[in-house]
Amino acid sequence: MLKGRAFAPQFASSRHRDETAELGMWVFIATEVLLFGGLLLGYFVYRHANPLAFAEASRHTDIVIGAANTAILLTSSFLVACAVDALRANARSASVALLAGAIVLGASFLGLKGIEYADEYREHLIPGIDFVFDGALANGVQLFFVFYFVSTAIHGVHMLIGIGVLATLALLVHKSGSTRRRAALHSAALYWHFVDVVWIFLFALIYLPGRSGG
Amino acid sequence: MSEIDYLNASYTLRSWFLTTDHKRIAILFFASLTVFFFIGGAAATLIRIELATPQADLVSADGYNRLFTMHGVIMVWFFLIPSIPNTLGNFIVPLMIGARDLAFPRLNLASWYLFMLGGTVTLFAIFAGGIDTGWTFYTPFSTLYSNSYVLVAVSGVFIVGFSSILTGLNFIVTIHRLRAPGLTWYRLPLFIWSLYATSVILVLATPVLAITLVLLAAERFFGVGIFDPRIGGDPLLFQHLFWFYSHPAVYIMILPGMGVVNELISCFSRKEIFGYKFVAWASLAIAAVGFLVWGHHMFVSGQSLLASLVFSFMSFIVAVPSAIKVFNWTATLHKGSIRFDAPMLYALAFIGLFTIGGLTGLFLACLAYDVHATDTYFVVAHFHYIMVGGMVTAYFGGLHYWWPKITGRLYSEGWARAAAILIFFGFNLTFFPQFVLGAEGMPRRYHVYPPEFQVWNVLSSGGATILAAAYLLPLFYLGYSLFFGARASANPWNAPGLEWQTASPPPEFNFATQPMVTRGPYQYSTDFEPEPQNA
């Protein structure tokens, strides 16, 4: 009775399955919001307690790489959105090419992040490994960099997972463009956009304090 | 062997360990949780033996710290939180809503593997030498001073959190998307409502624990002082983040128990639940308000008086939906045709014990009294009345109620009633004396105490002996019923729920045809007939 159906037994139709999968992704994103929310709460508590130190620490971050990475990630999100639309219009090879572009951009984001980490290592700004900072603000600056590294590292892990997901979907879409693939790509795109949105918050909190006006 | 059901469809190891059938995964969870329950129980037994005399005679101070930490960590994360959702919930939810499985069966299996991985890592930490921080992992002790396996244990808890999140996610999506035609929200059994509320907490609170443990691990491993006041870190921030998860976690532990009790009370008084909508929304209200009360764990930690006032007030507010439930269960019993079968005995015990636990919670929500009671046995007694008297009792009640459905066998009613009564008396004898001890000022987490406390401690340890024996009893008569129990009919309780309208044990895909629903969940009162289209 249930063998030979194109969708699992708990669903009534393939459309039912696809809509269910999308809801699953939204609930997962809700979880992720709270994960980063806890982290940002810690950041705000300490920034409130050490406003000068956080401004000073922020001036030691590399805003050029930060801004470039923001542009790169936003562009990759744009490509992923186009890939979803392309697959909906049955342009499979265009969709795969757009995904490949997004993957390359994602990888360059991580590459630039690595260069940034290396620079910070040379400047003795990595707490717990090599941290040297003189002056009265040293403790607050260290706290800033702890949150900087923990949050960018967790964001980086999300990027790696996202790249893996996009690569898998590029392969799957290359093989077939079924409605199931469309739904999966749609959910993957939601995840990628979410990782992008997290970065927009991180960019503002990491690079901008202490750089506005006086 | 007559019918093919989910148990006899296949006997290979692979068909169990790679199954995506929610019923088999429920059994996997049940077996694992039972093991963890008795490991945590063994630690509790050693604690009670040590406390039988005022002086140290079994363990050192340090060994005692490791013992109560092990008891707390195992019981909270490896028994109470997954108990009803991952066993009974996993089994019953799809059956109750007329679905063939949960929405994401492979995630469900992944949840079990994550649970086992987290459990193995935590057990490794315990047997390699243990952890001495208490289950709360308070900083700076856990980050700077403790010479125990904090990092390993924290990793285990971190991993098991993902198991919780996956299960919560699966339930939310399943309840939204896989309800049978005609099964509107207000026709859902209240067990489903309470598991839905539980899942919302699982999904929204657990990630905050995850990030808190990451920060704790980063501080301990790299020595960077996130919570270290010497460089401007704030130990209170850890407590805020920890309790932002761990107080809602209390509702993760009690809401499913309340859900089970709804089913039992209505079945064994043969009546609709009084005030269905109030009980349904009370679950969601508890989940929502439960997120806003965490500061009542920190009245003496040095948070501002204003914060304490607000948290105290919110803690009183959260008692309102809980009380609504208790009153509505009582009103359901009124003029019901009550039968005292074993599941009903557990349900009635739940109402009494939960009420005591809840009311003593209000003592602790009072700013003035809490200063006196903080870190005393009063707190210990209070939360054991909720967690053990409430949740574990409901777990046993639900287990007996659905046992014929799960296994296709009937257990011995006489033994089951005896065990239920023994658990009730053993429990009260164990924990009621602890209220007295706490009110008289005996602090928790010490293995020695002044001799004037001994009488109450001996009573408590004596009760614990009865309780331990009573908890072992079901292992025997339920185990016996698996092999020698009479075969159960599809609907041994004559109940109207959809789960009772398929065979016991259910076939692999639950229902031969898609069930339809045309009425509310508790149609006991008039001449009960199964819905014609499902007969």
Residue-wise pLDDT for A130-156, tens only, equals 889 888 899 999 999 999 999 999 999
Q: Which of residues 103-132 of B touch A (CB under 8 A)?
A: 103-105
Residue located via tokens 């995964």 = B25
Q: What chain A residue is nearest to B202 in terms of C-alpha separation?
A: A31
Residue located via tokens 């009582």 = B330
- Residue A4 backbone phi and psi in degrees, to 5: 80, 0
For chains A and B, what is the number of CB pairs under 8 angstroms?
106
SS (H, E, C) B70-138: HHHHHHHHHHHCCHHHHHHHHHHHHHHCCCCCCCCHHHHHHHHHHHHHHHHHHHHHHHHCCCCCCCCCC
Compare A211 and A85 and report the one with higher pLDDT: A85
Interface test with A, best of B166, B171, B222, B227 (most A CBs within 10 A): B222
Looking at residue B535, its pLDDT comes to 47
Pairwise CA distance, residues A172 & A96, whole Å: 9
CB contact at 8 A, B103 and B177: yes
Contact residues on chain A for B211, CB-CB shorter than 8 A: 35-36, 38-39, 154
A3 domain residue, yes or no: no
Pairwise CA distance, residues B319 & B358, whole Å: 7
A46 domain residue, yes or no: yes
Positive or negative, the Cα torsion across B473, B476, B478, B484?
Answer: negative
Q: Name the region of B325 (left: φ>0; alpha: ψ -120 to 50; beta: rest).
A: alpha
A214 domain residue, yes or no: no
Looking at residue B532, its pLDDT comes to 55
The number of angstroms, rounded, from the C-alpha of B122 to the middle of its chain's C-alpha atoms is: 19
A30 domain residue, yes or no: yes
Number of domains forming the structure of chain A: 1
Q: Per-residue b/e over B245-278, b at no fewer than 16 CB within 10 Å?
A: bbbbbbbbbbbbbbbbbbbbbbbbbbbbbbbbee
Q: Indicate which CATH number applies to the domain containing A153.
A: 1.20.120.80
* Contact check, Cβ <8 Å, A20/B103: yes
Looking at residue B486, its pLDDT comes to 94
Looking at residue B224, its pLDDT comes to 85
For chain A, the C-alpha Rg in angstroms (whole number) is: 21
The parent domain of residue A186 ranges over 26-207
* Contact check, Cβ <8 Å, A35/B208: yes
Contact residues on chain B for A129, CB-CB shorter than 8 A: 222
SS3 assignment, position B386:
helix
Looking at residue A1, its pLDDT comes to 46
A106 domain residue, yes or no: yes
Residue-wise pLDDT for A156-207, tens only, equals 999 999 999 999 999 999 998 788 889 999 999 999 999 999 999 999 999 9
DSSP-derived letter for residue B451 is G
Pairwise CA distance, residues B422 & B430, whole Å: 12
Looking at residue B527, its pLDDT comes to 53
Domains of chain B: 13-510 (1.20.210.10)
A20 domain residue, yes or no: no
State both tokens at A56.
């000073």
The number of angstroms, rounded, from the C-alpha of B71 to the middle of its chain's C-alpha atoms is: 15
Other CB atoms within 10 Å distance of the CB of residue A19: 16
* Contact check, Cβ <8 Å, A128/B222: yes
Contact residues on chain B for A27, CB-CB shorter than 8 A: 169, 172-173, 203
Contact residues on chain B for A24, CB-CB shorter than 8 A: 103-104, 169, 173
Q: Mind telling me how many Å the CA of A144 is from chain B's nearest CA?
A: 10
List Cα–Cα distances, A92 to A77, B229, B254, in angstroms.
Answer: 18, 56, 50
- A154 contact B CB<8A: yes
Compute the C-alpha angle B508/B509/B515, nearest 5°.
Answer: 140
Residue-wise pLDDT for B455-495, tens only, equals 999 999 999 999 999 999 999 999 999 999 999 999 999 99
* Contact check, Cβ <8 Å, A129/B222: yes
- A67 contact B CB<8A: no
Pairwise CA distance, residues B285 & B5, whole Å: 39
Q: What chain A residue is nearest to B175 in terms of C-alpha separation?
A: A20
Of the pLDDT bands very low, low, confident and very high (cuts 50, 70, 90), residue A3 is low
* Contact check, Cβ <8 Å, B207/A35: yes
Residue-wise pLDDT for A35-83, tens only, equals 999 999 999 999 999 999 999 999 999 999 999 999 999 999 999 999 9
A43 domain residue, yes or no: yes
A7 domain residue, yes or no: no
Looking at residue B1, its pLDDT comes to 45
Pairwise CA distance, residues B353 & B46, whole Å: 24
Positive or negative, the Cα torsion across A43, A44, A48, A52?
Answer: positive
Full pLDDT tens readout for chain B, 535 residues: 467 899 988 899 999 999 999 999 999 999 999 999 999 999 999 999 999 999 998 999 999 999 999 999 999 999 999 999 999 999 999 999 999 999 999 999 999 999 999 999 999 999 998 999 999 999 889 988 888 899 999 999 999 999 999 999 999 999 999 999 999 999 999 999 999 999 999 999 999 999 999 999 999 998 888 998 888 889 999 999 999 999 999 999 999 999 999 999 999 999 999 999 999 999 999 999 999 999 999 999 989 999 999 999 999 999 999 999 999 999 999 999 999 999 999 999 999 999 999 999 999 999 999 999 999 999 999 999 999 999 999 999 999 999 999 999 999 999 999 999 999 999 999 999 999 999 999 999 999 999 999 999 999 999 999 999 999 999 999 999 999 999 999 999 999 999 999 999 999 999 988 999 998 899 886 555 555 555 4
